[in-house]
Amino acid sequence: MSFDALLAVQAADTTLDQLRHRRSHLPQRAELLAAERRVAAGRAKGEELRAQHQEIAQRQAGFEREMQASDQRVASLDKRLYSGEVTATRDLQAINAEVAQIKGRISHLEDEVLQILDEIEPVEAEIAALDTELEHLDATAARLRDEITAAEGDIAQEAARVEGERSAAAAGLDPGLLATYEKLRDRLGGIGAARLEGDHCTGCHLTLPSTEVARLKRAPADELAFCDQCGRILVR
Ligand SMILES: [Zn+2]
């Protein structure tokens, strides 16, 4: 029985473990998570800004409606003044007084609107900057998703190839030996079989007593051996 096939199975399993680790630790995943968090925060901020913008715009519309009504009132008063219908000095004075009062109010409203423009401009600039940032972030997230999909495809292809190698290597192995290997692999961090190199086990990297090394070297090649230190299958 060739224990080299068991080491080939071990090598394939180690590679498959590494591929799974690579798949779940793709650097793009962390970047995508960060980008998605920034998008969520940006959207929340955008909603806040749009609500703020709407509130200011409503105040502006209110002032503008009042200005329009005041302009109309002044126009109609002017019309009465110059129509010749009103002749009594007291009436003319009353109309003039109302016109003056409304014009004062209009002037005040104009100031209010100018103030609102000062107030609304920075909000609009902030919304525009945020929208640009969100566009960039969306593009970044889309690129990262594509990269993850591509990397996952590459890993799946590589895994299929290695699984083929593992099946070929495992095909010739004794099922009992394979079961022992699987059990050890589960228990010992993914390594169930290791090679004896010189006087040390490549599974635990500890040096075996020289009497044990000598005994292993004398033992028949098909005898199943285990490392005294870590319990893994030891392949001479
Ligand atoms: Zn060992």
Give the three-class secondary structure for 193: strand
Single-letter amino acid code for the residue at 207? T
In the reported structure, the alpha carbon of residue 179 is separated from the centroid of ligand 1 by a whole-number distance in angstroms of 19
Give the three-class secondary structure for 178: helix
Could you tell me the two tokens for 213?
């090394």
In the reported structure, the alpha carbon of residue 162 is separated from the centroid of ligand 1 by a whole-number distance in angstroms of 25
Tens of pLDDT along the chain (236 residues)? 579 999 999 999 999 999 999 999 999 999 999 999 999 999 999 999 999 999 999 999 999 999 999 999 999 999 999 998 888 999 999 999 999 999 999 999 999 999 999 999 999 999 999 999 999 999 999 999 999 999 999 999 999 999 999 999 999 899 999 999 999 999 999 999 999 999 999 999 999 999 999 999 898 988 999 999 999 999 98
pLDDT score recorded for residue 222 = 84
Give the chain's domains with CATH numbers.
Answer: 24-161 (1.10.287.1490), 175-235 (no CATH)
In the reported structure, the alpha carbon of residue 201 is separated from the centroid of ligand 1 by a whole-number distance in angstroms of 5
In the reported structure, the alpha carbon of residue 20 is separated from the centroid of ligand 1 by a whole-number distance in angstroms of 25
Return all residues near 85 (Cβ < 8 A) that are at least 6 apart: none
- Cβ-based neighbour number of residue 39 at 10 Å: 16
pLDDT score recorded for residue 84 = 87
In the reported structure, the alpha carbon of residue 188 is separated from the centroid of ligand 1 by a whole-number distance in angstroms of 10
Whole-number Cα distances in Å, 35 to 28, 32, 39, 197: 10, 5, 6, 48
Dihedral Cα 205, 211, 213, 218, nearest 10 deg: -170
pLDDT score recorded for residue 1 = 53
pLDDT score recorded for residue 2 = 72
In the reported structure, the alpha carbon of residue 97 is separated from the centroid of ligand 1 by a whole-number distance in angstroms of 106
Phi, psi of 209 (to 5 degrees): -60, 145
As a whole number of angstroms, the distance between CA 213 and CA 196 comes to 9
As a whole number of angstroms, the distance between CA 38 and CA 145 comes to 16
In the reported structure, the alpha carbon of residue 196 is separated from the centroid of ligand 1 by a whole-number distance in angstroms of 9
Could you tell me the two tokens for 194?
């290791």
In the reported structure, the alpha carbon of residue 185 is separated from the centroid of ligand 1 by a whole-number distance in angstroms of 12
